[in-house]
Amino acid sequence: MRTRTCLIGQSNLFKAGLKRLFMHTPFEVAEEKDTVRESHDLSWDEGLFLIDKPNDIREIEDDIAILKQSAHGRRVVLLAESMETDQLALSFAAGVDGYLLEEISPEALLESLALVMLGEKVFPSRLAVLLCGKNWAMPRPNHRLPADGHLSERELEIVRHLTEGLPNKVIANELLITEATVKVHVKTILKKLGVANRTQVAIWAVHNGLAILPEALTAKARSETPRSAA
């Protein structure tokens, strides 16, 4: 069964290009709208809403919130020209499920959207490095952990995968363990580090030398399969 998809944006080229890309894929373009507000009339309980991001997310954040509140099965993804950490943060606060860059390859875009429809959050893989560069506030760990200290080898493996933005299912496949086991490890890691979420784990990993170097990560972001975060 194909996923009903609504393309939203002022650019006819944006919509025409995506409509052509989605031919013979799991995504069926059922509607095209100029604004998010126009999509409020759709009676879909579930489906994908792919939006050409405006210059400032504040222009549409209320409309996105209404769109998401109307039905739990709706997924919203923004396609942006560039990644600015404040815009990305506002987007996720408004309830978007994905924030992707227009430079993404067609294959990576389709894989990202498939993850979104499975309930994952997707974002550019260089997010953790940019967060560190912006010095975003985050709770400090209860104590600074050395790389070979309080985390077990298995937990360190999972931290490295979290830094890459991998979802639990992919981590489980990589490590040949169950997804439930990964979830248990993630909860333990959050508790040990004294942080609240996976993004903060990634930031901790960068600060402690467990992450990919920024230069390498930036280069990889243009070509690698997109990652997701809870």
**CA 130 – CA 171 distance, rounded (Å):** 23
Burial classification of residue 149, based on how many CB atoms lie within 10 Å of its CB (0-12 exposed, 13-18 middle, 19 or more buried): exposed
Residue 216 has pLDDT above 80, yes or no: no
Report if pTM > 0.95. Answer: no
**CA 102 – CA 118 distance, rounded (Å):** 22
**How much is the pLDDT for 108?**
86
Q: Is 6 strand, coil or helix?
A: strand
Task: Specify whether the CB–CB gap between 77 and 126 falls below 8 A.
Answer: no
**How much is the pLDDT for 168?**
85
**How much is the pLDDT for 220?**
37
**How much is the pLDDT for 211?**
53
Maximum C-alpha span of the chain: 55
Q: Is 227 strand, coil or helix?
A: strand
What token pair was written down for 87? 């815009």
Residue 4 has pLDDT above 90, yes or no: yes
% of residues, the chain, pLDDT over 90 = 20
pLDDT tens digits, 59-71: 888 888 888 887 7
Pairing of strands 73-80, 27-33: unpaired
What token pair was written down for 94? 């408004």
pLDDT tens digits, 70-83: 777 899 999 998 87
**CA 95 – CA 91 distance, rounded (Å):** 7
pLDDT tens digits, 82-120: 877 778 777 877 788 999 988 888 988 999 899 999 888
**Cα 58 from chain centroid (whole Å):** 19
- With CA atoms as reference, report the closest residue to 51 among 61, 3, 83: 61
Partners of 122 in beta bridges: 98, 228
Element (H, E) at 7: strand 3-8
Q: What are phi and psi of 213, to 5 degrees?
A: -60, 145
**Residue matched to tokens 């994908």:** 48
Q: Which of 2-16, 95-109, 203-217 has the lowest mean pLDDT?
A: 203-217
Q: What is the CA radius of gyration of the chain?
A: 18
Element (H, E) at 163: helix 153-163
